[in-house]
């Protein structure tokens, strides 16, 4: 009987496009996935539970329907204190929810905590990935983008170790909410083109954290401080970056280059208080300088998730 | 008969028994001869900038794990000459370290050529030992390793510090992470909690790659491998010595101990020993290697010639992480005109397989790039004497324009 029910679910209830091997929990109606490579275009809807690493193969598109919830089980195979469940996208991710029906990437644990699961990782993808109206919580990093291209808009990143991390990539980060994470946005390269605009970054320990990549840094060279290093590559403007408990902006160790970060709202019009909320050369002479002037005199109404 | 051949019991042996005994003795000689031939004499001296070290302990370990644990070490015998030692070792590959004292301070040396191939009947192995400072733990000050690199007590302000997994076999190349020493002579690595080996090098020609040349600095702290506890910063001083440059190493008021020895004894000079690639040694002694082959193609099935297929060792890190593709590997081959590749590998080991257009830098926009997708861990296992075919990889151009 259980076998029959499983077949019925597999062939009639689960969308036909969902072609990978999956174990269906007949009681809860969830799709339960373990380590596997999706080798055909796949669509998820309803409840998906992941225990392990799901690879979206190169050339494959994973489409996630609005209203879908993806739950990640906490497993820690390498005993590093970070849950290992992950979606690794080599192909293409289309996770486009709506304002009414968001897509949720959450912990499957009864008492969820940051680092319960690893991340949605878009890695060496050859397509444009779209992530919108999604919620990410209790991850090590909600979303990571490396050597890939993505548009990340109208998403919520809360209660993660890091909301969003990126390295070398082409990336639009627009109208997102980063709140109650240890780090809101962390990045390691200022190459781009990357646009960080109209986001609400608040109540994190560190709002935005820039730290150089640890990848063979021996070719780092002396900074040219005549021009902020991110000019023409990385735009950070029109954001509300405020009320982050440690720093609104932190230039990590060895971040020697000046960062142009004007035209943002920092929670105050007092330039001294803005400076106090930024860790840069004024605190450590070896670091670069955060050029935050001119700054906005009022919060941006257009920042954060739209429509409000 | 003037003398009787007697056993210890005084019993006389018949002629036939004598013959049998002689044959048995010959057999023993034949059996034992190769063992005797494989033993090598390793001698050397442990020098400090102030001259030969006192109270030396020189050890040889069959692998780095033994060196780190101190279990199974072979200890050299000191000689009557100051700072000198002597081993009799089976030929093989060893990690050598030396400890001692000088002027009331503890000195240490990890031989920069480690692992050393002991293949000849005689090897002279000098150590340049330097004073060691204790580690300092800083709870709540980050998580990683930082500190300074010194030569003769002063910070050096250029060079490269590299972090290796403790399970690495050779500690060459750029390791897991490499960082430049800053103008203040300091460095820092953010690290996961774990155990690492840290080594610094300073090359006079400002190169960051390749073997060290005479006078280049090799720097290894005695505390290796270093454990980074969770939420702790580990502060370490890494002292250096110059490769094969004793005149630079010795303080100006120290008598060069070579002098008479170098003239009197050909094999006892302080010459640098030849460095043999352990891979070559291993290849000579290995059975047939494992082999994998396959085709690299684009998403439409078109073969891609000229791409690199790279196998990264996976036994150290059994789960694929992005940093895996930063590791150093020598298992690299290019696809032929039909997109085919064939890669020989040491057997009974696992590897992460990727393919790409470029080597030596992070992936760039529009580069062909692909990971093996036979499983979610991108991993293959190479078995001794086995050939695995059809290990195919798909590649695509990555990072399209945003619009």
Nearest neighbour of A147 by CB, restricted to B194, B299, B399 = B399
B171 near B197, Cβ under 8 Å? Answer: yes
Q: Check CB contact of A126 with chain B, cutoff 8 Å.
A: yes
| N- to C-terminal Cα separation, chain B | 109
Over residues B126-134, the mean pLDDT reads 87
A236 near A265, Cβ under 8 Å? Answer: no
pLDDT for B228-287, tens place per residue? Answer: 998 888 999 999 998 877 777 877 665 544 443 333 333 333 333 333 333 333 333 343
**DSSP track, B356-397:** ES--SS---TT-EEEE--SSTT-EEEEPTT-EE----EE-EE
Nearest neighbour of A126 by CB, restricted to B177, B194, B397 = B397
Closest of B376, B381, B327, B325 to residue B354, by C-alpha: B325
Mean pLDDT lowest for which of A96-100, B8-12, B15-19, B78-82?
A: B8-12
Residue in chain A nearest B369 by alpha carbon: A124
Q: What is the pLDDT of residue B347?
A: 80
Mean pLDDT lowest for which of A56-65, A160-169, B90-99, B111-120?
A: B111-120
Tell me what ipTM this predicted complex has.
Answer: 0.88
pLDDT for B351-374, tens place per residue? Answer: 999 999 987 678 889 999 999 999
Contact B402 A171 (CB under 8 A): yes
B133 or A104, which is more confident? A104
Q: What's the CA dihedral at A102, A95, A170, A234 to 10 degrees? A: 0
Nearest neighbour of A57 by CB, restricted to B363, B373, B398 = B373
User: Counting one residue from A and one from B, how many pairs have CB atoms under 8 Å apart?
Assistant: 123
Q: Check CB contact of A196 with chain B, cutoff 8 Å.
A: no
CA angle A79, A82, A84 (to 5 degrees): 85
What are the CA-CA distances from residue A85 to residues A21, A47, A80 (Å)? 17, 16, 13
Q: Check CB contact of A76 with chain B, cutoff 8 Å.
A: no
Residue in chain A nearest B158 by alpha carbon: A218
Closest of A205, A209, A210, A201 to residue A265, by C-alpha: A201
Q: Which helix (H) or strand (E) holds B34?
A: helix B15-38
| Nearest-neighbour CA in chain A from B160: distance (Å) | 7
How far apart CA A296 and CA A86 sit, in angstroms, is 38
List CB contacts (< 8 A) between A220 and chain B.
180
pLDDT for B136-169, tens place per residue? Answer: 888 877 788 989 999 988 898 888 888 888 887 7
Nearest neighbour of A146 by CB, restricted to B318, B320, B322 = B322
| Nearest-neighbour CA in chain A from B71: distance (Å) | 26
Q: What is the pLDDT of residue B37?
A: 42
Does residue B191 register a pLDDT over 90? no
Does residue B120 register a pLDDT over 80? no
Over residues B193-221, the mean pLDDT reads 81
Residues lower than pLDDT 50 in chain A? 1-21, 26-27, 214-223
**DSSP track, B38-87:** HEEEEEEEEEETTEEPEEEEEEEESSHHHHHHTTTPEEPEE-SSTTEEEE
pLDDT for B13-54, tens place per residue? Answer: 445 555 555 555 544 444 443 334 457 888 888 888 888 899
């Amino acid at each position: 009987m259980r076998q029959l029910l499983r077949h019925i679910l597999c062939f009639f209830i689960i969308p036909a496009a969902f072609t990978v091997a999956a174990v269906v929990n007949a009681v809860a109606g969830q799709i339960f996935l373990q380590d596997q490579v999706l080798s055909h275009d796949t669509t998820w809807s309803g409840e998906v539970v992941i225990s392990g690493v799901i690879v979206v193969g190169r050339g494959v598109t994973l489409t996630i329907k609005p209203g879908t919830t993806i739950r990640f089980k906490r497993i820690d195979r390498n005993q590093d204190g970070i849950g290992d469940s992950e979606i690794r996208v080599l192909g293409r991710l289309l996770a486009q929810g709506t304002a009414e029906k968001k897509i949720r990437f959450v912990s499957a644990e009864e008492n969820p905590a940051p680092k319960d699961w690893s991340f949605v990782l878009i890695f060496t993808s050859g397509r444009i990935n779209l992530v919108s109206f999604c919620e990410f919580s209790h991850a090590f990093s909600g979303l990571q983008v490396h050597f890939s291209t993505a548009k990340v808009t109208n998403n919520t990143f809360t209660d993660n170790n890091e909301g969003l991390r990126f390295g070398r990539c082409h990336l639009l980060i627009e109208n997102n909410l980063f709140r109650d994470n240890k780090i809101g946005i962390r990045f390691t390269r200022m190459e781009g083109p990357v646009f960080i605009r109209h986001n609400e970054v608040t109540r994190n320990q560190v709002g935005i954290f820039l730290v150089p990549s640890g990848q063979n840094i021996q070719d780092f060279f002396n900074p040219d401080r005549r021009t902020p290093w991110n000019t023409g590559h990385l735009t950070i403007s029109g954001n509300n970056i405020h009320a982050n408990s440690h720093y609104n902006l932190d230039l990590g160790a060895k971040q020697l280059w000046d960062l142009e970060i004007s035209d943002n709202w920092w929670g105050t019009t007092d330039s001294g208080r803005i400076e106090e909320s930024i860790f840069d050369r004024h605190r450590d002479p070896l670091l670069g300088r955060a050029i935050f002037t001119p700054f906005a005199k009022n919060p941006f109404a257009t920042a954060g998730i739209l429509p409000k | 008969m003037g003398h009787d051949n007697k056993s210890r019991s005084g019993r006389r042996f018949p002629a036939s028994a004598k013959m049998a005994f002689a044959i048995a003795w010959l057999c023993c000689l034949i059996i034992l001869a190769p063992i005797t031939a494989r033993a090598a004499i390793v001698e050397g001296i442990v020098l400090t900038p102030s001259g030969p070290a006192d109270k030396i302990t020189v050890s040889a370990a069959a692998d780095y794990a033994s060196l780190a644990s101190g279990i199974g070490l072979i200890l050299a015998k000191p000689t009557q000459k100051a700072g000198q030692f002597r081993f009799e070792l089976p030929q093989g590959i060893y990690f050598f370290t030396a400890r001692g004292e000088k002027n009331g301070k503890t000195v240490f040396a990890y031989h920069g050529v480690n692992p050393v191939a002991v293949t000849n009947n005689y090897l002279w192995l000098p150590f340049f030992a330097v004073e060691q400072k204790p580690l300092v733990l800083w709870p709540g000050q980050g998580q990683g390793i930082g500190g300074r690199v010194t030569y003769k007590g002063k910070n050096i302000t250029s060079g490269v510090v590299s972090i290796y997994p403790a399970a690495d076999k050779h500690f060459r190349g750029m390791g897991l992470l490499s960082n430049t020493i800053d103008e203040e002579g300091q460095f820092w690595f953010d690290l996961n909690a774990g155990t690492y080996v840290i080594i610094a090098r300073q090359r006079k020609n400002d190169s960051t790659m390749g073997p060290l040349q005479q006078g280049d600095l090799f720097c290894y702290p005695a505390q290796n491998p270093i454990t980074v506890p969770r939420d702790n910063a580990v502060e370490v001083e890494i002292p250096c010595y110059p490769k094969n440059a004793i005149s630079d190493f010795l303080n100006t008021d120290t008598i060069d101990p070579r002098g008479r020895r170098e003239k009197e004894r050909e094999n006892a000079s302080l010459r640098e020993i030849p460095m043999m690639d352990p891979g070559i040694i291993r290849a000579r002694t290995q059975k047939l290697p494992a082999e994998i082959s396959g085709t690299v193609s684009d998403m439409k099935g078109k073969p891609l010639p000229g791409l690199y297929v790279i196998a990264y060792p996976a036994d150290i890190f059994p789960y694929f992480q992005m940093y895996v593709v930063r590791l150093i590997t020598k298992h690299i081959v290019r696809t032929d005109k039909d997109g085919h590749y064939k890669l020989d590998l040491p057997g009974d080991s696992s590897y992460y397989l990727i393919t790409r257009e470029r080597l030596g830098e992070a992936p760039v926009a529009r580069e062909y790039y692909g990971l093996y997708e036979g499983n979610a861990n991108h991993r293959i296992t190479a078995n001794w004497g086995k050939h695995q075919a059809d290990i195919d990889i798909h590649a695509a151009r990555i990072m399209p324009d945003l619009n």
